[in-house]
């Protein structure tokens, strides 16, 4: 009896790229949903804390999403490491003089932005979920926690930097997805690249609007 089909597929470069693409799409879906949830901070403390409370009243949903995200993060990192090994096995001795041709700045930095984003998520969970991030934390006041956290310029600066790297990562990820799907068309390919850049830029601006608004004193509103 041979290897199961799923394992045979995983053992191909295309299989690993597919796992990376599917897990990346699920994670990006969470990022977009989380952004939409976070933007409710502009609607005031009652709305934002109410949103957080209503999620906590659905523990089955929250825990299913957490388990799904964890599995996706593991698969995303695992497939990226396997692909890196495959690449280095294909060229065990590095180029004597390496000059990038078709790769973009973002594609070359995927292996740098990825671990920084992972480190950001760990700090982010420490800060807003576990309350051990070094900024004021009140279990049932998510609104206050975000405002207090972003009032610290170094914290806001770190978030803005991390969001920039995340969006660079997302832009290239989206672009790689089209390539993995085998999509190439002389007219539409450049448009897809532009669409990936615009989508990443919108996500970036959406996220950073929160620390920027806190630092600028736009939120909390003084009524
Ligand atoms: C300005 C940017 C962001 C703000 C203000 C923000 C805010 C928050 C807050 C307040 C929580 C805790 C929610 C609660 O306990 O009810 C949270 C949880 C979380 N955030 Fe963010 N977030 C931001 C960006 C991000 C980004 C970019 C990612 C992923 C790359 C992310 C991933 C998560 C995760 C995984 C959780 C834990 C969810 C859970 O409890 O299972 N966040 N965020």
* 89 CA → ligand 1 middle, Å: 37
Q: Is 121 in the pocket of ligand 1 (CB under 6 A)?
A: yes
pTM for the whole thing?
A: 0.91
204 Cβ closer than 6 Å to some ligand 1 atom: no
Confirm or reject: Cβ of 189 under 6 Å from ligand 1.
Answer: no
The residues near 180 (Cβ < 8 Å, ≥ 6 apart) are: 14, 17, 18, 20, 21
Banded pLDDT at 223 (limits 50, 70, 90): very low
Show Cβ contacts of residue 151 under 8 Å, excluding neighbours closer than 6 positions. 214, 215
Span 111-159, pLDDT tens digits: 999 999 999 999 999 999 999 999 999 999 999 999 999 999 999 999 9
pLDDT at 212: 98
Q: What is the pLDDT of residues 159-190, one digit of tens each?
A: 999 999 999 999 999 988 888 888 878 888 88
Return the half-sphere exposure (C-beta side, CA atoms, 13 A cut-off) of residue 207: 22
Q: What is the residue extent of each domain of the chain?
A: 10-90+113-215
Neighbouring C-alpha atoms within 13 Å toward the C-beta of 143 = 17
Check if 108 has its Cβ closer than 6 Å to any atom of ligand 1.
no
Of residues 105 and 222, which shows the higher confidence score? 105
**Which CATH code for domain 10-90+113-215?**
1.20.1300.10
CA distance 197 to 203: 10
Residue percentage of the chain with pLDDT more than 90 = 72
Residue 222: per-residue pLDDT: 52
User: How far is it, in rounded angstroms, from Cα 106 to Cα 170?
Assistant: 9
C-alpha dist (Å) from residue 78 to 72, 166, 167: 10, 18, 21
3-state secondary structure of 68: helix
């Amino acid at each position: 009896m041979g290897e199961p089909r799923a394992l045979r597929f995983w053992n191909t470069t295309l299989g690993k790229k597919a796992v990376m693409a599917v897990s990346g799409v699920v994670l990006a879906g969470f990022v977009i949903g989380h952004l939409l949830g976070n933007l409710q901070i502009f609607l005031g403390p009652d709305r934002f804390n109410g949103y957080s409370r209503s999620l906590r009243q659905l523990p089955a949903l929250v825990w299913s999403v957490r388990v799904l995200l964890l599995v996706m993060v593991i698969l995303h990192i695992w497939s990226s490491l396997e692909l890196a090994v495959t690449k280095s096995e294909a060229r065990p001795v590095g180029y004597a003089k390496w000059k990038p041709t078709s790769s973009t700045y973002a594609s070359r930095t995927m292996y740098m932005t990825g671990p920084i984003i992972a480190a950001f998520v760990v700090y982010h969970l420490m800060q807003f979920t576990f309350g051990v991030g070094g900024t004021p934390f009140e279990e049932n006041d998510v609104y206050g926690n975000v405002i207090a956290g972003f009032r610290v310029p170094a914290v806001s600066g770190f978030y803005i930097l991390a969001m920039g790297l995340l969006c660079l990562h997302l832009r290239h990820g989206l672009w790689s997805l089209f390539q993995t799907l085998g999509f190439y068309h002389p007219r539409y390919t450049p448009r897809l690249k532009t669409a990936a850049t615009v989508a990443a830029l919108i996500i970036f601006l959406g996220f950073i609007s929160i620390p920027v608004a806190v630092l600028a004193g736009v939120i909390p509103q003084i009524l």
